[in-house]
Amino acid sequence: MAGRKAEVSRKTNETDITVSVNIDGTGLSRIATGIGFFDHMLDQLSRHSLIDMAIDAKGDLHIDDHHTVEDTGIAVGQAVAKALGDRRGITRYASLDLAMDETMTKAAVDLSGRPFLVWKVDFSSPKVGTFDTELVREFFQAFSQHAGITLHVVNHYGANNHHIAETCFKSVARVLRVATEIDPRQADRVPSTKGTLV
């Protein structure tokens, strides 16, 4: 349990990102990407998953936010995968409908080692403030691919685009919290009849 921590550094011509995670944390976060709304969403991801996260990202924001958001998703996914190791003893599956004011969003996850994203979320505006709403999907696409997880996110309804984005991050956080927990009935087994999740 104490060893479920990892750090990942990723540097390209577009971004320079360092991420550290502690799966067995308390939801403490230190987030600095240079994108205010994205920092707010990542803070929700950490807080509601109880995964401690430190994220320092510097990117080509003079172009737009895309590279920074996508590459942060890659680095966070890689860090989570590294921290989970062979995923021995985890609960593995979780599903949740999360309500926030007028909005409801469902997230379901399988920490399967098989990356796949199903995304059924529509925004009525291309932006929340200065943040491109299409980048919410880009983050979760990169995260799910590099964490090695199957992730389904479905927005049932909602009117406020900030709320829609926030329920995506919060619902994913809550299912990660459950799925990454150690199941005492699993003992030290990998939760798969194949004997491996990686």
pLDDT of res. 1: 46
Phi, psi values for residue 114, rounded to 5°: -110, 110
**Cα 137–Cα 53–Cα 189 angle in degrees, nearest 5:** 90
State the 10-residue block means of pLDDT for the chain, 198 residues long. Answer: 86 97 97 98 98 98 96 98 93 97 98 95 97 98 98 98 98 98 81 61
Domains and CATH numbers, the chain: 5-180 (3.30.230.40)
pLDDT of res. 3: 80
pLDDT of res. 196: 67
pLDDT of res. 181: 95
Pair of tokens at residue 30: 């230190």
- Residue closest to 110 by CA, chosen among 165, 169, 178, 183: 178
pLDDT of res. 192: 60
pTM higher than the cut 0.75? yes
pLDDT of res. 186: 78
Phi, psi values for residue 2, rounded to 5°: -65, -20
pLDDT of res. 188: 78
